[in-house]
């Protein structure tokens, strides 16, 4: 009898920080389900997203490539995609959803996309059979404090390629997302499936359900984190109820670090979202697969979100494209707890937009730029996780080696600040005459015509 291919559930949060879960040290957010996932699976302590902001991070994770590789360094001068822009994930790119679909998987994205809102860029054009969610951030709708600002039409909730509601009640949206996930699991219980659940939380503005607000010890933020934990418990329960838990790899992570305010935490890391300090790009990552991933693993190896692509492909029996560079590496040996398994990365590069700002190799991290400033800072992350003791002058031989990696990366991917284009980058997708998905209509019966919080993320 042929062994069925494993199901894949990828859960990606928005702006969740390294220190926001109990199993990563939080003492203010209750996350019993995720803590148990970590206890019974593998928890990564040196896991990186490829960008400190959402659009490049998500495009990178889905394609297994550094953002610059796929033209996602910047978006017509902006750091992330905005409503109605004429750029997005190039239709020529091959996402992990498309790879899995090609080998018999049913695929669905529930939640935030943020890789382009024009028809050519939507999830249904990138390997997802179905899509339900917000095409970009939840602060990109009509909101207090900026109702007259250009570029923020009503927030669209989509089903496949159709807007089914404008300005939805955000406090109820996660529950609606979970319902869609459960429906998808039940419908596809007899076939291999890939479910990508991309949370709205904990991106600002935060509207959390009353139940979680009442029990939170950390305000709105803690309520949203606990709602995330609840949502994971429902999905795990459904997998077990359907007898699918032992044939499903569940991955939990975040698109970038937390902002570092309003109750969020990247502790003990320095910096946060929109920075290339550790707090901007090192995030939680837990993998859980009962009976396959050994319990109680804590992995300190350098792992990236780009590694999901070849690793999931390996588990699913899908070949990765050979006609293009894929930056991710197969980490299946690490995930499965094989003795002696090590990180396949000789170096990891920290980009902020199109600018190369830092490199890590082993325990060492060299910063060469921060925004518009050149810097020379070296840290040993094993001894100094919070990047507080610059030892640049003390280890010239380490600096020299890391500078060689920087030179290699610049040649390959480019570095705008250094005036280097890069030899192996691919174009972003473009369309002519883009239009927003929605337009404000004062006669439309919105349930919430204007979100009342002025918080934006």
Catalytic (active-site) positions: 54, 114
**185, 293, 174: which is closest to 239 by C-alpha?**
185
User: Under 8 Å CB-to-CB from 337, ≥6 apart: which residues?
Assistant: 42, 293, 294, 297
Q: Which residues pair with 418 in a beta bridge?
A: none
Any idea which residue has 């994205």 for tokens? 109
Interstrand relation of 303-304 and 348-352 (parallel, antiparallel or unpaired) = unpaired
User: Rounded to whole angstroms, how far apart are CA atoms 242 and 244?
Assistant: 5
The answer to whether the CB of 208 falls within 8 A of the CB of 171 is yes
The answer to whether the CB of 225 falls within 8 A of the CB of 163 is no
User: Rounded to whole angstroms, how far apart are CA atoms 55 and 403?
Assistant: 28
**153, 159, 104: which is closest to 127 by C-alpha?**
104
The three-class DSSP label of residue 232 is helix
User: Under 8 Å CB-to-CB from 405, ≥6 apart: which residues?
Assistant: 346, 347, 349, 359, 361
What DSSP string runs through 341-408? Answer: -----S-EEEEETTEEEEEEETTEEEEEEETTEEEEEEEETTT-TT-----GGG-HHHHHHHHHHHHH
What DSSP string runs through 270-297? Answer: S--TTSSSHHHHB--EEEE-TTTSPTTE
Residue 434, both tokens: 């883009």
Residue 297, both tokens: 């693993």
User: Rounded to whole angstroms, how far apart are CA atoms 434 and 122?
Assistant: 13
Dihedral angle at the C-alpha atoms of 16, 21, 23, 28, nearest 10 degrees? 150
């Amino acid at each position: 009898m042929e062994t069925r291919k494993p199901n894949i559930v990828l859960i990606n949060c928005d702006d969740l920080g390294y220190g926001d879960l109990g199993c990563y040290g939080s003492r203010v957010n209750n996350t019993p389900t995720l803590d148990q996932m970590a206890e019974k699976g593998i928890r990564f302590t040196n896991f990186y997203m490829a960008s400190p902001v959402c659009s490049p991070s998500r495009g990178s994770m889905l394609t297994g490539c550094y953002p610059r590789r796929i033209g996602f360094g910047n978006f017509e001068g902006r750091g992330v995609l905005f409503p109605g822009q004429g750029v997005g994930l190039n239709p020529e790119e091959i996402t992990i959803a498309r790879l899995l679909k090609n080998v018999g998987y049913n695929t669905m994205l529930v939640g935030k996309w943020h890789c382009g809102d024009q028809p050519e860029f939507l999830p249904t054009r990138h390997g997802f059979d179905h899509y339900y969610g917000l095409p970009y951030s939840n602060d990109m709708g009509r909101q207090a404090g900026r109702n007259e600002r250009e570029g923020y039409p009503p927030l669209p909730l989509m089903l496949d390629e159709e807007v089914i509601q404008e300005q939805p009640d955000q406090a109820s949206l996660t529950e609606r997302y979970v319902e869609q996930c459960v429906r998808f699991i039940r419908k596809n219980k007899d076939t291999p499936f890939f479910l990508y659940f991309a949370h709205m939380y904990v991106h600002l503005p935060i509207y959390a359900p009353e139940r979680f607000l009442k029990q939170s010890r950390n305000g709105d933020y803690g309520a949203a984190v606990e709602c995330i934990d609840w949502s994971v418990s429902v999905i795990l329960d459904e997998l077990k109820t359907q007898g699918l838990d032992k044939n499903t790899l569940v991955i939990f992570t975040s698109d970038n670090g937390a902002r570092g305010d309003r109750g969020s935490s990247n502790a003990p890391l320095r910096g946060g979202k929109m920075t290339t300090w550790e707090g901007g790009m090192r995030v939680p990552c837990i993998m859980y697969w009962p009976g396959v991933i050994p319990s109680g693993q804590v992995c300190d190896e350098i792992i990236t979100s780009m590694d999901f692509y070849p690793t999931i492909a390996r588990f699913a029996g899908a070949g990765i494209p050979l006609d293009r560079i894929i930056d991710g590496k197969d980490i299946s040996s690490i995930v499965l707890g094989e003795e002696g398994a090590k990180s396949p990365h000789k170096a990891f590069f920290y980009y902020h937009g199109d600018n190369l700002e830092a490199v890590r190799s082993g325990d060492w991290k060299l910063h060469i730029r921060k925004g518009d400033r050149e810097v020379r800072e070296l840290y040993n992350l094993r001894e100094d996780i919070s990047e507080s003791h610059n030892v640049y002058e003390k280890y010239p031989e380490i600096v020299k080696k890391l500078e060689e990696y920087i030179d290699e990366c610049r040649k390959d991917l480019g570095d705008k600040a250094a005036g280097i284009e890069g030899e192996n980058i691919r174009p972003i997708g473009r369309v002519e005459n883009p239009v927003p998905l929605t337009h404000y209509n004062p006669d439309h019966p919105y349930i919430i015509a204007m979100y009342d919080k002025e918080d934006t993320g």
